[in-house]
Amino acid sequence: MLRRVVALAIPGLAPFEFGVLCEVFGIDRSSSGAPAFDFRVATADPGPVRTSLGFDILVTDDLSVAAEADLIAVAARSIGPVDERYLEVIRAAEARGAWVLSVCSGSFVLGESGILDGRRSTTHWMYADEMQRTYPRTVVDPDVLFVEDRRVITGAGTAAGIDACLHLVRREHGAAAASVIARRMVVPPQRDGGQSQYIQQPELQHGGTSLAELTDWMLDHLGDDHSVESLARRALMSERTFARRFRAELGESPAAWLNRQRLLRAQQLLEESDAPVEEVACVCGFGSSATLRHHFTRALGTTPQAYRRAFGVRAAP
């Protein structure tokens, strides 16, 4: 049973992400029905610990308090060398079967310790490629909010750290306990979707190639049916020449490009308008809300309705 939690205060830690660990595990909410954790903060050299924002936090416990922890938690930090003493604590925790959890770029610390070798993991989408290159023995999934693999949990960006922590509470103490903490924090106990919906999307692509006139026309007629045959005819080319030139200049097939532009337009409409999802689907060329949902879920890991709730602009009363 998860009781004793130790958060490692590693120099360069990010204050907000570190605060996520303190908020979930460090506040006594037992009067509301949540579990009470024995929460400690430990560092290799007790005293001032410099944060990524340039101010210090004062930590009085050394790493010896981590010896019997049920969970070792690592916040995001500046990516760079890690004192071997922290890595030894993480390895020892994993070896004895304790939980190990990281938030955001804290996953690089777990990677450096070696405990991610042979495990799936995640990190903030901005760092996913770098993490995969740096630690090729882990499989980095950039699309999810968190990954649990044999008692090692890696969370994605800042808010996903809350998701990862609540997931662990749910696993160890049940859904009711996680809901109490989530309610007190005013966050959902479990979010839908993954990181893909938060990655900044490119603008709709206008111009820039010899096919600019055609692609501009396609963007203005996303709701129409398009085939390689009809597009090639409009471009005054054979189908084979058109398909080859399209891929050479835009980096993908006409169908893949068109589908991506339709998704971008759907995101735009869901963010900026209150048009029904069925109407958005038709305007963008998906034909039905079911087809839009299929493509939306496959590409972004969430539904059109959930995306609108998260990113839609609500009119002022």
**Domain boundaries along the sequence of the chain:** 4-198, 212-311
| pLDDT given for residue 232 in this prediction | 92
- List pLDDT tens digits, range 152-171: 999 998 888 998 999 899 88
Cα gap 215→204, rounded to integer Å = 10
DSSP letter string over 196-255? GGGSPPPPP---SSTTHHHHHHHHHTTTS---HHHHHHHTTS-HHHHHHHHHHHHSS-HH
Q: Which of the 8 DSSP states describes residue 61?
A: B
- List pLDDT tens digits, range 216-263: 899 889 999 999 999 999 999 999 999 988 888 877 889 988 998 898
Cα gap 13→78, rounded to integer Å = 7
Instruction: Say whether pTM exceeds 0.75.
Output: no
**Fold topology of 4-198:** Rossmann fold (3.40.50)
Instruction: Extract the tokens encoding 124.
Output: 């903030």
Question: Which secondary structure element, helix H or strand E, spans residue 232, and what is its range?
Answer: helix 228-234
Question: Which secondary structure element, helix H or strand E, spans residue 56, and what is its range?
Answer: strand 56-59
Which of 133, 173, 142 minimizes the C-alpha distance to 301? 142
**Kind of pairing, strands 120-121 and 139-140?**
parallel
212-311: CATH superfamily: Homeodomain-like (1.10.10.60)
Cα gap 145→258, rounded to integer Å = 28
